[in-house]
Amino acid sequence: MTTLSLAAVTLSVGAATDAGLVRPQNEDSYLADGPAFIVADGMGGYEAGDQASAAVVASFHDLVPGPGYGTYGQVEAALREANARVAKVAAATTVGAGSTVTGIVLTEHEGQPAWLVLNVGDSRVYRHRGTQLEQITVDHSLGRELVDAGEMREEELASFAHRNVITRAIGATDSAADAWLVPAMNGERLLLCSDGLYGEVADETIRAVLTMSGRPDDAARRLVGLANESGGRDNITVVVVDVLSGADGARETSTDDVTSDTLRTRK
Q: Which domain holds residue 130?
A: 2-253
Confirm whether 140 is domain-assigned: yes
pTM: 0.92
The pLDDT of residue 46? 64
Mean pLDDT, rounded, for 226-237: 98
**In whole angstroms, what is the distance from residue 87 CA to residue 258 CA?**
25
**In whole angstroms, what is the distance from residue 34 CA to residue 64 CA?**
8
The pLDDT of residue 149? 66
At residue 244's C-alpha, the angle toward residues 243 and 245, to 5°, is: 105
The pLDDT of residue 7? 86
pLDDT > 90? residue 235: yes
The pLDDT of residue 151? 62
The pLDDT of residue 1? 76
Pairing state between β 189-193 and 124-129: antiparallel
Confirm whether 128 is domain-assigned: yes
Q: Kindly report, residue by residue over 204-223, the tens digit of the pLDDT.
A: 999 999 999 999 999 999 99
The pLDDT of residue 166? 85
At residue 175's C-alpha, the angle toward residues 170 and 176, to 5°, is: 130
3-class DSSP state of 39:
strand
Provide the number of structural domains found in the chain: 1
C-alpha atoms less than 13 angstroms from C-alpha of 52 in its C-beta half-sphere: 29
Number of helices (H), then strands (E), belonging to the chain: the values are 6, 13
Q: What is the DSSP letter of 197?
A: H
The pLDDT of residue 158? 65
Confirm whether 112 is domain-assigned: yes
Q: Which has the closest alpha carbon to 234: 247, 242, 224?
A: 224
pLDDT > 60? residue 251: no
Q: Kindly report, residue by residue over 141-198, the tens digit of the pLDDT.
A: 766 666 566 767 766 556 655 566 788 999 998 999 999 999 999 999 999 999 999 9
Confirm whether 262 is domain-assigned: no
The pLDDT of residue 45? 72
Q: Kindly report, residue by residue over 1-22, the tens digit of the pLDDT.
A: 799 999 899 999 999 999 999 9
Q: Kindly report, residue by residue over 68-120, the tens digit of the pLDDT.
A: 999 999 999 999 999 999 999 999 998 889 999 999 999 999 999 999 999 99
Confirm whether 22 is domain-assigned: yes
**In whole angstroms, what is the distance from residue 267 CA to residue 119 CA?**
13
Q: Which has the closest alpha carbon to 86: 120, 125, 124?
A: 120
Confirm whether 267 is domain-assigned: no
Residue 255 or 169, more confident: 169
Q: Are 38 and 14 in contact (CB under 8 A)?
A: no
Confirm whether 197 is domain-assigned: yes
3-class DSSP state of 190:
strand
Q: Kindly report, residue by residue over 113-155, the tens digit of the pLDDT.
A: 999 999 999 999 999 999 999 999 999 976 666 656 676 776 6
Q: Are 136 and 126 in contact (CB under 8 A)?
A: yes
Q: Are 133 and 69 in contact (CB under 8 A)?
A: no
Q: Kindly report, residue by residue over 32-66, the tens digit of the pLDDT.
A: 998 999 999 999 776 799 999 999 999 999 999 98
Domain CATH for 84 = 3.60.40.10
Confirm whether 16 is domain-assigned: yes
Question: What distances in angstroms separate CA 154 from CA 56, 141, 149, 150, 163, one per listed residue?
Answer: 32, 13, 11, 9, 11
The pLDDT of residue 259? 56
How far out from the chain centre does Cα 4 lie? 19
